[in-house]
Amino acid sequence: MTTVKDKLELVGIVAVVVSLLILGYEIRQNTDTSAAQAIFELNESARQTLFQEATDPELVTLIRKAEQDFDGLSERERYMYGRWVFAHMNLFESAWRYRRRGVISDAEMKGWEAAFCGYMARASFRRVVQSVESFTPEFSEESAQWCD
């Protein structure tokens, strides 16, 4: 015969199990929300960078000049061009990090890799990237294989 104490213990155990299930569901929802936010922020950063390229005539001129005669850039122009390259590389490295964490899919990463290869096809872009050692070594090693 079960006592009131046994019934209360059973109710307590059921309550704990239900609480754990609810907590697991909430953690999953939070993880999904965080992943969606990360993807949104990455895409928004890319959009802003590309929008600047499309709407800033001085930047367009600088990019064109760098592609035609990198050695002819002034010190200020090299600095500005380097910041532009770094902004793009930061996006590519962020996408790579999100892929490693499972936030973006292999298919999405293929798109980022293709964009990376498009930029790396530019001699001036590649020259700046190769002169900088501020990227994660693992990213540098892996991204070097994307365009093979």
The 10s digit of each residue's pLDDT in 93-115 is 999 999 998 888 899 999 999 99
Overall pTM > 0.85: no
The 10s digit of each residue's pLDDT in 18-63 is 777 777 777 776 666 777 787 778 778 888 888 888 899 999 999 9
Query: How far is it, in rounded angstroms, from Cα 36 to Cα 44?
Result: 12
Torsion 68-122-94-37 (CA) sign: positive
